[in-house]
Amino acid sequence: MPAIPDRPSAKSRVALVVGADGFLGGFIVAALRARGWRVLRGVRQLNGADDERCTDLARMHAPQDWQAALANVELVVNAAGILRECGAQTFAAIHVEGPLAMTKACIEAGIPRLIQISALGVAADGDFIASKHRFDELLVALDPQALVLRPSVVYSSAGSYGGTSLLRALAALPGVVVLPGDGRWLLQPIAAEDLGILVVRAAEGDQRGIYQVGGPQPMSLREYQTLWRQWLRIPGQVAFSVPEWLVSIQAWLGERLGRGPVGETMWRMLRRGNLPEAGALDRLREDFDFVPRTLQAALAQRPSQVQDRWQARLYLLAPVLRMAIVLVWLLSAVAGWSAPADAIAALSAESAMHNWPVVMLARTTAVLDFILAAWLASGWRPRWALALMALSVLAYTLVFGCLVPALWLEPLGGLVKNLMILPALAVAWVLAERR
């Protein structure tokens, strides 16, 4: 990562980074701390850490709500954002109302510096961009000293999230690079570490207004994907183009189901091209004395490891595994409901369970299987659902394995397969963590 030249020490100065647990927020926190700032992490839910402050943009819509979070702070960086609305997490609340109340509280508290991390694009791309830009304009009107950074695609060799994770996964498929469309669209990607350096320079400088931010040169999506595949050290450069109409259907479904990293806004932004306007790079060089690295240079400074290939290849396998688990539980529920009572009773006739109400037990566990399948399919607290699935499998295995030992030798291996299902559930539990 490029070094930050010597400037007056920021030691003991206090910064609040809103959205600190997000992908961009984490790199900004790291860059400020490396420079000597004491950083408070603004998070939606407190976890008991000493450096946390509550900054719930969905409900803190009055300036007085921010007084505790802003106490003794000299710099505020807003890196919070959502790609899709969910419940109280709306574009209006997260991108406009909450940040606007925060800005007014900063002005009342006399906080000298406020930096907004926005996004490059046009309002016509969707409500995500439109809401971001609406607040950008309100911010610079309320606080002429404020700074807004609108980056193009942000990546890091140290990790990824959302759309950048998907692109890395498509670049890592066996034997072929998968491209949305023909990969002709242009972008000007910037390393998250370089964005962090810009934030540090802005924190200690006097830049103001709105800056469009990108890497030093445009590249096509095809070039971007090829470089990632080379960095991952995966052989094969053959590209497969997914028809645009098929990607559009996926984006449409993702938007309405609230799932997946690519929705209609991201798809429109990609096809439009995600490039800063002419002269933006020169302005960046002149005002910040800094030019972000090329993707080639950034990747050359950190060689890939096997963990990077794991992440890229598991990214697409995670939803497949989850869907497979849902299907197994649904089929188990159907089997429990539809199996004839005589067949169920026959299984336990020669065992220690011969006096148990086995038919009612089978029907009850079928209901439980259906509930767990529906729960996991809903996407709400998936780790809880997976943990209960694992407990139920473990219970079935221990109870039936001990009381009806003949099931271990059952021709289709129903009980034996649990020995594989348990680690599969454990893997799905690990992969359910998205941040």
Question: Tens digits of per-residue pLDDT, 59-85?
Answer: 999 999 999 999 999 999 999 999 888
What the block records as the tokens of 184 is: 């002709």
Rounded Cα gap, residues 280 and 270, in angstroms: 19
pLDDT in the model for residue 97:
98
Q: Residues 47-54: contacts with CB within 8 Å, 24+ apart?
A: 53/16
What the block records as the tokens of 54 is: 């509550």
Residues 6+ apart with CB under 8 A from 324: none
Rounded Cα gap, residues 64 and 67, in angstroms: 5
Rounded Cα gap, residues 144 and 333, in angstroms: 62
Question: Tens digits of per-residue pLDDT, 223-263?
Answer: 999 999 999 999 988 889 999 999 889 888 877 776 666 77
Rounded Cα gap, residues 432 and 28, in angstroms: 25
Longest dimension (CA), the chain: 85
What the block records as the tokens of 293 is: 């690295």
What the block records as the tokens of 377 is: 């399919």
> Alpha carbon 265 to chain centroid distance?
16
Domain ranges of the chain: 14-304, 318-431
Residues 6+ apart with CB under 8 A from 430: none
pLDDT in the model for residue 352:
66
Is 84 in contact with 267 (CB distance < 8 Å)? no
Run of H or E residues at 53: strand 52-54
pLDDT tens series, the chain, 435 aa: 555 544 445 557 999 999 999 999 999 999 999 999 999 999 999 999 999 999 999 999 999 999 999 999 999 999 999 988 888 999 999 999 999 999 999 999 999 999 999 999 998 888 999 999 999 999 999 999 999 999 999 999 998 888 889 899 999 999 899 998 889 999 999 999 999 999 999 999 999 999 999 999 999 999 999 999 999 999 988 889 999 999 889 888 877 776 666 778 888 888 888 999 999 999 999 999 999 999 999 999 999 999 999 999 999 999 999 999 999 999 999 988 888 888 767 766 666 666 777 778 888 999 999 999 999 999 899 999 999 999 999 998 888 777 777 676 676 657 788 889 999 999 999 999 876
DSSP category for residue 339: S
The domain covering 14-304 belongs, at the CATH homologous superfamily level, to NAD(P)-binding Rossmann-like Domain (3.40.50.720)
What the block records as the tokens of 131 is: 């809401």
Residues 6+ apart with CB under 8 A from 318: 428, 431, 432
